[in-house]
Structure 1
């Protein structure tokens, strides 16, 4: 297991931000991961887990403790059953399932990060989320001090949430198992309207797997959501804010604010979110509050392709990024009475100081 001291963490994140870790370990096997976690727990050393670094905002002072980079590898396909090691590159894994003719995650193409992070965030996009295909998650339980296997029902999946996210200091994901579908080379039903329009089909139709993946990659690239080291518009953590989910009372008050600000004919995006709740669009809120694509003059700006992405234009600090994020949160709240919540995990800093 590789060990470095006073090691920079910025290169391990898609934002390229954050100070150094006191100690950085790189684990390439499950046993090394478990050993490193146990050592940190036994000594009372703070521990930071890093996979693909696509969902991390690390403070400029860095991390005073042990950062553990999960670089495990493993792609095992048995019929329609897929098992991925936590450190597998997610985009590569999706490409291999499409090549194998199996449906279930093809619309999650292009999402940066590692396989082990997908159940934590219940990663989703373009009408699919991993909760729909994950059967089991193998994890090290730091509380029980043993490796456990959690069935899908035990993972408490919900919109961009899970048991692993709710108990961030308890579980370390080691492996993720999926049940995919053999639909004779066709995708799962296309559920997302934008994807269906781009493919020229009706929602619910199936298309060749490669066509679904290629369209999703094209849509993501158009929004700066496919990583490109040469394009600072992709130096982000993806969507920086989650789509707000509002109660009936909150949504009624929100609609009234929209009417006051934009006119009575204006209708905000609204999607059923279960139990009398409605999901609206964070990107719409940001744009209508006056924070348009490319907003900002400093080294941290809103993406020129998508209002949900906050980007490092080169030379930014984490505080630069957070200052922009706080400005957006305050502006949206003032305009519409809705408080945006950050999607990436913050380390050593907070969006709400």
Structure 2
């Protein structure tokens, strides 16, 4: 059986696909797809091989693109991807997640939709709009976006979402009701004495540890955190990192203790990798200690930024780690971050990086 490794890239000018085998030593690149729409997130379904891409903006409108032939051809649909008449219109689809026979989409302004027919039509999970605090949510720098979608692997009624800049929210009843889960996360930009609100935190990325649904990791505008109780409380794990600021986090596919980060130098200092030296930081003990992995990454004039959905892992052993930059480079490691190669350059700004590993 042949292993086929795909890295799916969402960019400001369409979808690109990098391809390799199980060794991941040589890569080919194809694209752009999706008529060069601005694409915010691309995911692949390992069960079917389908690829889905969330995109749009105020000019194009929102849509989710789908390919059933690994990118050779695409269709897109926005049917049902809208709020009721009179509400602020949906500007773009921002995030995707697969779970329990559904394809979920997070949109701007923040809302949640699902499809049960491979993206052809969409239904609104309107309970999120009915949360008591919804009218008080304020947008982050990129807008009021629902960018992190984390379905529970076993319980289809549980979902966690991350909204900038409103925080983390959880439903236990399939989306009918939602509760904020932000206790212990800071909002340093609020007035003194109001830095730990019930909601209003600027969460940047939310991921789940493999095999432990109650363990969540969160990169926030104001720190790095771990929760061991499904987000009911959060503990800071930023000690040992060069900065409390960054966007993406990527979980190991099998080890719940291992996490990868791409810290930036701060929210007002340029938002590039500290000292303009590229590095990915890794923990093997759920955030108690961090190591800095640089081998193969540029160590001079590397003014690189990595957006919230632009880092991921694959499910191979050893796990591959990948990140894309705002300046259009794709970096890959086939040994869990020990060494790195640049496998693509001069792409449009990369918004998201995900993997799809197929065995055929």
TM-score (structure 1 length as normaliser): 0.34
Instruction: Answer 1 or 2: higher relative contact order, Cα 8 Å, separation at least 6.
Output: 1
TM-score (norm 2): 0.33
More strand by share: 2
Q: Per residue, is there more helix in 1 or in 2?
A: 1
- Which has more radius of gyration? 1
